């Protein structure tokens, strides 16, 4: 399974990615801002989603809103 970011770059587990669009987080009062860094990503069963740590919280993000840092 190949996981690609919004620019078509292949992502590997443990990579660092950057958010390209401000996103609202369901169930949380805070939002993810454009340019925020997500470190040490992990793959999920879905090739269009990854798990990553943002501000000490683990979130599942769609790869269409990410670019490789």
CATH code for the domain of 61: 2.30.30.40
pLDDT in tens, the chain (69 residues): 899 999 999 999 999 999 999 999 988 888 999 999 999 999 999 989 999 998 888 999 999 999 998
Residue 4 lies in a domain: no
Q: How far are the Cα atoms of 25, 26, 27, 45, 62 from residue 15, in angstroms, in the given order?
A: 22, 24, 26, 17, 15
Check if the beta carbon of residue 39 is closer than 8 Å to that of residue 11.
no
> How many domains are there within the chain?
1
Residue 7 lies in a domain: no
Q: Which domain holds residue 50?
A: 17-68
Residue 8 lies in a domain: no
65: left (phi over 0), alpha (psi -120 to 50) or beta: alpha
Residue 11 lies in a domain: no
Residue 10 lies in a domain: no
pTM: 0.87
């Amino acid at each position: 399974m190949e996981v690609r970011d919004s620019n078509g770059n292949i992502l590997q587990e443990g990579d660092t990615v950057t958010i390209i669009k401000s996103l609202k987080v369901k169930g949380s009062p805070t939002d993810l801002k454009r340019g925020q860094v997500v470190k040490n990503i992990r793959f999920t069963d879905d090739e269009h989603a990854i798990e990553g740590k943002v501000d000490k919280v683990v979130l599942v993000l769609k790869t269409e809103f990410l670019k490789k840092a």
